[in-house]
Structure 1
Amino acid sequence: MTQGEYSLVGDVGGTNARFALVERGSVELCAIETLACDDYANLDDALSCYLDKCGVDRVREACLAVASPVRGTRVQMTNNLWRFDIEEIRTQFGWQTFKVINDFMAMALGVLHVPEGKLVHVCGGPGDRRRPRLVMGPGTGLGASALVPVRSGWTALTTEGGHVDFAPRDDTEMAILRILQARFGRVSVERILCGQGLLNLYQAHAAIQKVSAPLDAPEKITAAALERNDPLACQTLQHFCELLGRTAGDAVLTLGSSGGVYLCGGILPRITDFFLASRFRRGFEDKGRMRPILEFTPVHLVAEPYTGLLGAAEALGNPEI
């Protein structure tokens, strides 16, 4: 590749770091690579490896979406051990510009560039395209953002909506809350609605029912549930989907986002058929007097795996970010 013609974009989560190159002013991704975070001591090691693979030793600018709050120049990843200083990385790699944004802010911006063919309709009516749009999804953590209309188009909110309190609604959920409080103290919805959260939920249901919980990883729970050969795994995944629906519905009411809901993250695309037949819709719409708002709001599952990279490319060229 010709040196200096490309910008670098990245989407760095708790488990994987995805990188790509884009031509300046474009969101068309090339040289996409996914690296396992555990294979690298820190961000600069992963960046160097990626650029070596591409045969590029210098780019003019970069934008990374990270699964972490971004305040000041120091970044500590929420769900892995990486930490870095934005200005130090910019200087080390000789970039003219280095933007770092929250990963779900990037997801929201990326949704603007996802083709209709990569959106799976889950439920809901036509919505109001002039209203805000919620972007949420479980992966290593639970991310949340929103697209808000402005004069020039759309802007994205940086939020930590995945860390709102878990709100139990029946005796079983009260028991789940007590079990998780004993482990974590405060219990946010992310303690349930993410990869590790699915395992937490499975173990809590097992403890309540006084049965064994032999599965020790979220991917094993989803596999058993999809095979329909493990009642506890099926029950857990159904409950997971319903709780995600309730959480997304609460966020719609909070943000007024009847423009639509876009569900992202690493878990849902792997369980699409199960999810579409699950109790998600019941949880999403069950809002009493506010039910008509939720029934009116369209919900889509985003099947584009590189939405965060598209959003990082969008942010790179946006002077407001």
Structure 2
Amino acid sequence: MISSIDTESLLHFPVLVGDIGGTNARFAILVDSYAEPKQFPILQTADYATIDDAIQSAVLDHTSIQPRSAVLAIAGPVDGDEIDLTNCPWVVKPKQMMETLGLEDITVLNDFEAQALAVASLESEYLEKIGGGESEPNGSRVVLGPGTGLGVAGLIRTRQTWVPVPGEGGHVDLGPRTERDFEIFPHLERIKGRISAEQLLCGRGLQNIYRAVCKANGVEPALETPAEITGAALDGSSREAKETLELFVVYLGRLAGDFALTFMAHGGIYLAGGIVQRIIPALQDASFREAFEDKAPHEEIMKTIPVYVITHPLAALSGLSAYARTPMRFGVPTEGRRWRKEG
């Protein structure tokens, strides 16, 4: 028998799930708790003035299914009735969305909460292991995702439920350690005098490192986009791009190791997003695990913690769908983040 509290937490199908990042937005509709999500083409946030316009034009106008509930994951902290995205001009206004889109119930989560939810349910075929021991089934986990920005979230097992721990961990400080770091860091672009992890470990972070490497080497930058830099690094056509990717991998290893210690993540560290999927060969280089494990006096602990690259193309939607099917399985606090139509 389902308790009254459990009944209150249930969502009414069909459920619209959405993963909204700074550059791309992905949507699907879950018709019932047994169906596979009906996916829609990935859209560019810059192509639509508002999230309401995007959902109406790219989703609802292309299906006869009218969602009753929505679970949306957005790139930024969820606070109040008007929610700003960190790297996108869209503003999520749940009360307005219920009126304009005909929804009865809207839950808004952080985008890396969705990634954390996915980690609890992804099958092994969607995980590429990068060293370490075996994942402890109930061990704490951490998700990091270099993309338009740098997302971080934890996942903790307690009282038979998985509890995602969202935050803004991508904005922690990241400093130089090696002689080469000290040559490069003076040339890195800063925000109000500081270098955060997100200044290095995202798309524009690749550009930032590349320009700094070029300045340190006394050469003019010849590459512009993150895709050009990673492409030239992987095919060996640019020495500066190759070093950029090598440094990116080391810095990601250091940060991943820091969060592994913070959460004592014996369940594993999970790397998400398109950037890490494209650079798996670079992550398999010994330098990543060396940077990850270089945490004296805890090297032996670090050697046991596995790291995985999430290869599922729509992992966040998978996590949101798992939550929509069985909210009771996850300890997701919804106070101040769930809106319901009265009456």
Segment of structure 1 superposing worse, 175-184 or 292-301: 175-184
* Shift of residue 177, structure 1, vs aligned partner: 3.5
**The 10-residue stretch of structure 1 (7-16 or 307-316) with the greater mean CA deviation from structure 2:** 307-316
Q: Give the deviation of 1:290 after TM superposition.
A: 0.7
Question: Which ranges of structure 1 fall in alignment gaps of 5 or more residues?
Answer: none
Q: Distance in 1 between matches of 2:70 and 2:124?
A: 28
State the distance in 1 between where 2:177 and 2:187 align. 15
1:192 lines up with 2:203 in the alignment: no
Q: How far off is 1:7 after superposition?
A: 1.1
Q: Which residue is 2:121 aligned to?
A: 113
Report SS of the residue matched to 1:41.
coil
Per-residue deviation, 1:24: 3.2
The 8 Å contact of residues 110 and 308 in structure 1, kept in 2 or not, is answered as yes
Quote the Cα distance in structure 1 between the aligned partners of 2:191 and 2:219.
19
Residue deviations 1:246-282 (CA, integer Å, cap 9, x gap): 0000001011112111110120111222322262111
List structure 1 segments (4+ residues) > 6 angstroms apart after TM superposition.
Answer: none
Task: Report the TM-score, using the length of structure 1 for normalisation.
Answer: 0.93
The aligned residue for residue 301 of structure 2 is 293
Per the alignment, residue 84 of structure 1 pairs with: 92
1:233 paired residue among 224, 238, 241 = 241
Distance in structure 2 (CA, Å) of the matches to 1:69 and 1:213: 35
Gaps of 5+ in 2: 1-11, 333-343
Q: Which amino acid aligns with 1:157?
A: V
Q: Distance in 2 between matches of 1:267 and 1:182?
A: 22
Q: 2:267 aligns with which of 259, 273, 287?
A: 259
Do the aligned residues in 2 keep the contact of 1:27 with 1:310 (CA within 8 Å)? Answer: no
Deviations 1:167-226 (A, max 9, x none): 211343234433336565221100000000100010011111211111111110001011
Q: Tell me the CA shift for residue 105 of structure 1.
A: 0.6
Residues 27, 71 of structure 1: CA spacing in aligned structure 2 closer, same or farther, 3 A cutoff?
farther
- Identify if the C-alpha distance between structure 1 residues 127 and 8 changes in structure 2 by more than 3 Å, giving closer, same or farther: closer
Question: Match of 2:37?
Answer: 29
SS in 2 for 1:288: coil
Query: Structure 2 CA distance, aligned partners of 1:86 and 1:177?
Result: 42
Structure 1 stretch 178-187 or stretch 274-283: which is displaced more? 178-187
- CA-to-partner distance for each residue in 1:58-92, whole Å, 9 max, x for gaps? 21000111111111221111111111312211222
Secondary structure of the residue aligned to 2:318 is: helix
Aligned in 2, Cα 1:212/1:48: closer, same or farther, shift over 3 Å?
same
Identity of aligned residues (%): 37
Q: How many residues align?
A: 318
| One-letter identity of the residue aligned with 2:278 | R
**One-letter amino acid of the structure 1 residue matched with residue 297 of structure 2:** R
Classify 1:5/1:102 alpha carbon distance in 2 versus 1 (closer, same or farther; 3 Å): closer
Q: Is the 8 A contact 1:18 1:33 kept in 2?
A: yes
Counterpart-to-counterpart distance in 2, 1:236 and 1:27: 43
> Which whole-Å CA distance do the structure 1 matches of 2:130 and 2:241 have between them?
22
The residue number in structure 2 matching 1:304 is: 312
Q: Is the 8 A contact 2:60 2:66 kept in 1?
A: no
8 Å contact kept, 1:147–1:156: yes
Partner SS for 1:10: strand
Question: Residues 149-169 of structure 1, C-alpha deviation per residue, up to 9 Å, x if partnerless?
Answer: 011221111111111001211
TM, length-normalised to structure 2 = 0.88
* 1:100 aligned onto 2:94: no
- Does the 8 A contact of 2:24 with 2:42 survive in 1? yes
Q: Distance in 1 between matches of 2:48 and 2:135?
A: 44
What is the aligned partner in structure 2 of residue 132 from structure 1? 140
Q: CA deviation at 1:231?
A: 0.8
Identify the match of residue 318 of structure 1 among 299, 322, 327: 327
Pick closer, same or farther for the CA change 1:135–1:182 going to 2, 3 Å: closer
Q: Is contact 1:12–1:18 with CA below 8 Å preserved after alignment? A: yes
Between the aligned partners of 1:35 and 1:192, the Cα distance in structure 2 is 26
Aligned counterpart for 1:38 among listed residues 40, 43, 46: 46
Out of 216, 223, 227, the position equivalent to 1:208 is 216
Q: Distance in 1 between matches of 2:65 and 2:139?
A: 43
Number of the residue aligned with 1:60: 68
Deviation for aligned residue 1:229 = 1.3
